[in-house]
Structure 1
Amino acid sequence: MRSPVSVIAVALIAMVGAGAGCGRNEQNAPAAAAKPEAAPVAPGIISIAPGSPQLAQIRVEAVKTLDVPTDEVVAPGRVGINPSHSSRVLLPVPGRIASVMARLGDAVEENQPVLTLESPDADGAIGSYRQAEVAERQAQATLVKAEADFQRASDLYEHRAVAQKDLIGAQNDLAQARAAVEAARTSLAQASRRLELLGLRPTDSKPRIVVRAPIGGKVLELNVAPGEYRNDTTAPLMTIANLSTVWMTSEVPETAIRLIRPGERVVITLLAYPGETFAGRVARMADALDPQTRTLKVYVEMANPQGRFRPEMFGTIRHAGALRSLPVIPRSAVVQEYGRAVVFVERAPGQFERRDITLGSAAGSSLPVLTGVQAGDRVVVDGAILLKDR
């Protein structure tokens, strides 16, 4: 039989053990509460408990529709000069550059002198003009005499004072004199035209050939300096371009050629002017593809009244096809999983379904969806990343 003291000791030990057990249960309670609040309840469905801090960070919106292009061409491009509004300045004849009157970047008017040239051809051109001038005067004098001789022969023939052969001879001389005058006038006109092209006058004693700007515009390239002697009349001395219009040259992929045609309007963006868009028109398309890149050169004309577009600027051209009503979602709604575009659709409060989607070309700040969601679906637009790994 146990003594009262033993019974009391056993009771105390039991009470202490029970208290320790209660303490362990209380310590384990927070650990149980710290378990993930989101647990899959069905394939592709994620559940988050009501009142969860994660749920408070998630925002959903109903999917809307927007008219977006069914097909769109987006290609890089580079600004260049309009070839129909540019010209290269060449030497008319070999010679020494006496002076250059235009600098790089200068604006010049059409027919404005841009350089002068000393050349033996200048002396030769003036000499040829003077010879043609003398020949024309001599031909005129011969014609006057021939006309007088013919008139005298005609009068004498009427009075039977000369034979018919004398009249015919005078008539032939007159015809030859008239032909000689026409030939002399042609030679004089050619000599005069050559002086005009060289910027010379017949009275110049120390002639310098004046080279003039073929068009009005800006000097974009300058490859000449005073004192140089140039023999090559095919090498450009300067390039002048009218930049009131410029061309954007782009290379469109072979798969997108069918979507663009000459005369169509395109939208242009330039790296130099972020956030701005500009209008352009397809001026022409190349006849053959680049065999290496499988692209076709497309030339887009842009009006440039303020001179903001400068050659060698980079940008893109964008051409939209027919419009089609499609569901659109914000970019923030899309997450990438193993190369797939995924969104989370709210099925019920705290219940989200993972869906694969197919996206179209971006339409501003929104993304058109070809498959996967439809108008009215409630999609997570903020906090989708919180659901990605669940």
Structure 2
Amino acid sequence: MIAVFVATGVFGTQLLLRGGEDAGQQGQDRQPTRVGVTSPQMRSIEDAVSAVGTLRPVRAVDIVPNVAGRVSDVLVTSGQKVSAGDLLIALDDRAARAALAEAQATLNETEQEYSRYRQLEDSNAAAEARLEEARGAFRRAEAAVMMAEANLEDRTVTAPFAGTLGVIDTEPGSFLNGNQAVTRLADLSAVEVSATLPERYFRQVRPGQTLEITTPSYPNATFEGQVTLRAPEIDLGTRSFEIRAEIDNDDGRLVGGMFARVRLVLDTYEGMTLSEDAIISEGMAVYVYTVADGTAERTEIEIGTTRGTMTEVREGLEIDDRIVVAGWDQLTDGAPVAVEENPAERGDE
């Protein structure tokens, strides 16, 4: 019986050793994972900052009559485009015309009187005091005519510049008190966007830089403009500063009050980029799998800005590295790989 137990133990030990050898052999014979690879590319990279802002016309004013009066005619409609000097609203001007006619009559009389005394002065027949009195009356009559003309002109409301009118609710026969805005005029040939940026970007912003905006009204359109103003100081409450940019609006699609997403390009430089499909993020770790000698190696990287499908790689890779872009979800560090010649998905496509 002792001999039987000894023989059984020896046989079991041989089986265990043989099983371990077989498992090791299977590990060495593990089939490589088929992967697609790509390589980093050198591209022009934009260092940009994003913000939100509001659009407003480059020029906009409330149209308010200079004097009180009753409306005799409204010559425009809401939303109408007008040119500089176009007549918008006319007030009752009968009294103003009468006052101008009276002032002109007085001017004619004083002018004749002043002319007669000047002729008498030439013949030494007029006293100096009477001449000065006639001259003064003539000058006052001229001023009265100018005042009457201005009063008559104030009975018409005209456009100070070319633009688009807002809503007009005024009707003929209504009375305006001289303080009430009848509409708003906006020059929409260009619009201005205003946004605020954190203090850390202050030294990088300057007039003339390119700025892009998008709006919810036109989600597939991008509008480009130029920075016209950087506030000269930082707001103490928010630790931010205001920027303004002007954007051409020849087609009139943009209007005041629109919400805008702003993207300001601070700098442009050449840098290494990689398809975002090859980049793996796990918590705070960002890495890729590189391929060398048929083996996958986990490689930590530092990334920068992303533009489209390409992401800047600041550290961790060389330009000639081969990076797994398809099949990395089946890899571990040190796993054998077989590279496909025509992967279904490539980072440079």
Alignment TM-score, normalising by the size of structure 2: 0.76
Aligned to 1:100: 74
Cα 1:283–1:365 change in 2 (3 A) is same
Instruction: State the one-letter code of the partner of 1:186.
Output: A
The amino acid of 2:163's aligned partner reads G
Residue number in structure 1 paired with 2:42: 65
Instruction: Choose which of 126, 143, 163 in structure 2 pairs with 1:186.
Output: 143
The number of residues matched between the two structures is: 312
Partner of 1:376: 320
SS at match of 2:306: coil
Are the equivalent residues in 1 in contact too, given 2:53–2:196 (CA < 8 A)?
A: yes
Other-structure match for 1:263: 208
Are residues 113 and 64 of structure 1, via their aligned partners in 2, closer, same or farther at CA, if it must alter by over 3 Å?
Answer: same
Conserved in 1, the CA contact under 8 Å of 2:281 and 2:287? yes
User: Distance in 2 between the 1:262 and 1:246 partners?
Assistant: 16
- Aligned with residue 109 of structure 1, among 83, 97, 105: 83
Matched residue type, 2:312: P
CA distance in 2, matches of 1:96, 1:135: 28
Decide whether aligned partners of structure 1 residues 335 and 215 sit closer, same or farther in structure 2, where only a CA change above 3 A counts: same
Separation of aligned partners in 2, 1:98 and 1:353:
83
Output the CA distance in 2 between the equivalents of 1:283 and 1:234: 33
User: What is the CA deviation profile of residues 82-131 of structure 1, one whole-angstrom value per residue up to 9, with x for unaligned ones?
Assistant: 13xx332102222344443333322222222222334xxx4553343233
More helix by share: 1
Structure 2 match to 1:79:
55
Preserved contact between residue 345 and residue 354 of structure 1 (Cα < 8 Å)? yes
Contact (CA 8 Å) 2:287, 2:298: kept in 1 or not? Answer: no
Q: 1:187 to 1:95 in 2, by over 3 A?
A: closer
Any conservation in 2 of the 1:346–1:379 contact (CA below 8 Å)?
A: yes
1:229 equivalent in alignment to 2:178: no
Q: Name the % identity.
A: 24
Contact 1:49 1:350 in 2 (8 A): no
Q: Tell whether the 8 Å contact from 1:73 to 1:259 is kept in structure 2 after alignment.
A: no
Query: Is the contact made by 1:223 and 1:236 (CA closer than 8 Å) also made in structure 2?
Result: no
Q: Which ranges of structure 2 fall in alignment gaps of 5 or more residues? A: 1-18, 336-349
Taking the aligned partners of 1:293 and 1:224, their CA distance within structure 2 comes to: 43
CA separation of 1:251 and 1:222: change in aligned 2, threshold 3 A = farther
Q: Note the 1:196-235 alignment, pairs <5 A.
A: 196-198=153-155, 210-222=156-168, 224-231=170-177, 233-235=178-180
State how 1:285-300 maps to structure 2 within 5 Å. Answer: 285-300=230-245
SS of the residue corresponding to residue 154 of structure 2 reads helix
How much does 1:228 deviate? 4.2
Q: Which runs of 4+ in 1 moved over 6 A?
A: none
Query: 1:328-339 to 2 correspondence within 5 Å?
Result: 328-339=273-284
1:369 positional shift: 1.3
Contact 2:100 2:145 (8 Å CA) reproduced:
yes
CA distance in 2 between counterparts of 1:128 and 1:279 reads 54
**Cα gap change, 1:324 to 1:284, in 2 (>3 Å):** closer
1:137 counterpart = 2:118: no
Structure with more strand by fraction: 2
1:322–1:283 CA distance, 2 compared to 1 (3 A): closer
Q: Which has the larger radius of gyration?
A: 1
For the 8 Å contact 2:288–2:324, the answer to whether it is kept is yes
Distance of 1:192 and 1:316 partners within structure 2: 50
| 2:31 maps to amino acid | P
User: C-alpha distance in 2, partners of 1:176/1:141?
Assistant: 13
Deviation at 1:79, TM superposition (A): 2.6
Match in the other structure for 1:5: none
Q: What is the TM-score normalised by the length of structure 1?
A: 0.69
Answer yes or no: is the 8 Å Cα contact 2:205–2:230 preserved in 1. no
Which residue in the other structure is 2:121 paired with?
A: 150
- Native 8 Å contact 1:332 1:381 kept in 2: yes
Matching residue of 2:291 = 346
Q: 1:327, CA displacement in angstroms?
A: 1.6
Q: Deviations over 1:185-230 (max 9, x none)?
A: 12212221321232xxxxxxxxxxx322222221134454555433
Q: Is the 8 Å Cα contact of residues 48 and 350 (structure 1) preserved in structure 2?
A: no
The CA distance in 2 between the partners of 1:248 and 1:259, in whole Å, is 19
Structure 1 counterpart of 2:54, which letter? R
Q: What CA distance in whole angstroms lies between the structure 1 residues aligned with 2:78 and 2:200?
A: 42
Measured at CA, do residues 112 and 265 of structure 1 come closer, stay the same or move farther in structure 2, by a change above 3 Å?
same
Aligned partner letter, 2:63: V
Does structure 2 conserve the Cα–Cα contact (< 8 Å) formed by 1:220 and 1:240? yes
Write the mapping of 1:7-18 to structure 2, written as runs, cut at 5 A. Answer: none
- Alpha-carbon spacing, 1:216–1:138, altered in 2? closer, same or farther (3 Å): same
